[in-house]
Structure 1
Amino acid sequence: MPQIEETRPKYLQIAHYIREQILRGDLRPGDEVPSERRLAADWSVSRPTAARSLEALRQQGLVEKRQGSGTYVRPVAANRRAREFYGRARRTGRIHPPGEYAVITSAGWLPAPDHVTEALGLTPGTRAVHRRRVTRNESGPIAVSTSWFASDVGERAPRLHQLDRIQEGTLLYVESLTGRQGSHAEDRLCARPATEGDAVDLELEPGAPVLIVHHVVHDTRDRPLEFAEATYPPGRWAFEQGYPIG
């Protein structure tokens, strides 16, 4: 069992350790994770701290609590396109695969919309840094997305304000400038008709159905680091999912 580090919240250290076991496959879908009592004893922490670590895993979508039974690894895992991007960037230094590229259409400071303010935990009325891009390949536009960062991140990462592409991706660039490491992400999805702007960027008929993904990246201290809103045209997959049937 790893030793507790005093520089990081204890509950996040425990949650991170269990999360790594899940991602490695040491804990598989349907397996029970250690109870609050077991975690408190193994890590020499209080029961509330142990409970908070399990709640953090639940909020990350990795485990589910079953009343009167225990906490278990969720049986369904989704593969997000964003996860592929992050993995590729860390391996190769480039976020996009060959034949795919992004055109930055706007960047810089803007008043943060309400949903961005809420996602990043900002004070209402404050400014944030945005980067809007259209991702394309040889067949045409793939997605439109806008990333948002709080003002302290924007001040330390000047390339976020520029229209030049950041080949390693905004997250790795921000990590290198701020020292904050992305740890986990949350996604929310909905569908709606394309706006006039969506239709132009994605070469669609106005009112065509599009998929909207709100994506929040948290750092190792569970603080929101990046908020991104992506719009996908019909026929473009944002998620892939696999699960046992036997």
Structure 2
Amino acid sequence: MLVAFGDRPAYLRVADDLRSRILSGELPPHARLPSQARIRREYGVSDTVALEARKVLMAEGLVEGRSGSGTYVRPRPVPRRLARAGYHPTDEPTAFRQEQADERVSGTWEAESEQRDADSEIARRLGVAPGARTMRTRYVFRTAGEVTMVSTSWEPLELTARTPVMLPEEGPLAGRGVVARMAAVGLVVDHMVEEVGARPGRAEETAVLGGVPGHTVLVISRTFHASGRPVETADVVALADRYRAAYHLPVR
């Protein structure tokens, strides 16, 4: 197979053609991608160009390398909805429901908490000084046994230290969510702010989520406020090709 390369770099033109073959189904899921030597012969390019073209497809999450076997087309999942909504007192008050507002979806979660000093970014989000003590909690959420998202939250210990709700997943309000727990220490959460972005996944995230290193992840950065003061901030992370954030917002 020969292609005209024009002004674009050769490796991008090769990647474009291979991508088209993948998306059209000519190279179906689990099919082996042509080897580097075959790409070199079919497209009339160098080994370097063939390698860079494969790297592009791997970075896009279209293919994955298998040690000692080759490079294969990854299955393309149909994106599912990660429903987001404002807090409602009648909602099921659990950590899972706080992150997945679709009541048709049920799931479980695991959590681990430890005290940590706030770095500059977390300090900015919580409105505290860098180095201030926080309670950091890492969550793994599952639906039907499959990991759907991971989350890391931080709460200023100056608000919750030596109270029954210092540990989010222990005590009388374990797992009840930020609103209920903060109310127990006299803080009325009145609004939250979410920012949605994407970035390459970190190795530990993608390993838990079932992706590959560098796989693009969806990041929802959320902060709860009580009378203008941040009381909890969190990053919710899911694989970008598997989930879409769907917002349910009231019209007033």
Common fold: TM-score over 0.5: yes
- From the superposition, tell whether residues 162 and 171 of structure 1 become closer, same or farther in structure 2 (CA, over 3 Å): closer
- From the superposition, tell whether residues 166 and 236 of structure 1 become closer, same or farther in structure 2 (CA, over 3 Å): farther
Whether 2:200 is the aligned partner of 1:193: answer: yes
Q: Report the alpha carbon displacement of residue 208 of structure 1 after superposing the two structures with TM.
A: 0.9
Whether 2:217 is the aligned partner of 1:210: answer: yes
Residue 111 of structure 1: aligned partner: 117
Gaps of 5+ in 1: 1-79
Classify the secondary structure of the residue corresponding to 1:102: strand
Equivalent in 235, 238, 246 of residue 242 of structure 2 = 235
Q: Report the alpha carbon displacement of residue 137 of structure 1 after superposing the two structures with TM.
A: 0.8
Gaps of 5+ in 2: 1-81, 98-102
Show structure 1 runs of 4+ deviating over 6 A. 241-244
Inter-partner Cα distance in structure 1 for 2:164 and 2:249:
40
CA contact (8 A) 1:157 1:174 kept: no
Q: Report the alpha carbon displacement of residue 188 of structure 1 after superposing the two structures with TM.
A: 1.6
Residues 41-56 of structure 1 correspond to what in structure 2 (within 5 A)?
A: none
Q: Report the alpha carbon displacement of residue 145 of structure 1 after superposing the two structures with TM.
A: 0.6
| Percentage of matched positions with identical amino acids | 21
Residue 179 of structure 1: aligned partner: 186
Q: Report the alpha carbon displacement of residue 190 of structure 1 after superposing the two structures with TM.
A: 1.7
The structure having more radius of gyration, on CA atoms, is: 2
How many equivalent pairs are there? 160
Classify the secondary structure of the residue corresponding to 2:193: strand
Whether 2:147 is the aligned partner of 1:141: answer: yes
Inter-partner Cα distance in structure 1 for 2:164 and 2:250:
42
More helix by share: 1
CA contact (8 A) 1:108 1:160 kept: no
Q: Report the alpha carbon displacement of residue 92 of structure 1 after superposing the two structures with TM.
A: 3.7
CA contact (8 A) 1:107 1:160 kept: no
CA contact (8 A) 2:84 2:247 kept: no
Q: Report the alpha carbon displacement of residue 161 of structure 1 after superposing the two structures with TM.
A: 3.2
- From the superposition, tell whether residues 243 and 154 of structure 1 become closer, same or farther in structure 2 (CA, over 3 Å): closer
Q: Deviations over 1:10-41 (max 9, x none)?
A: xxxxxxxxxxxxxxxxxxxxxxxxxxxxxxxx
CA contact (8 A) 1:128 1:154 kept: no
Residues 26-65 of structure 1 correspond to what in structure 2 (within 5 A)?
A: none
Q: Deviations over 1:156-213 (max 9, x none)?
A: 444543765933224322322x111111111122211111111111111111110111
Whether 2:157 is the aligned partner of 1:151: answer: yes
Inter-partner Cα distance in structure 2 for 1:91 and 1:163:
18
Residue 167 of structure 1: aligned partner: 175
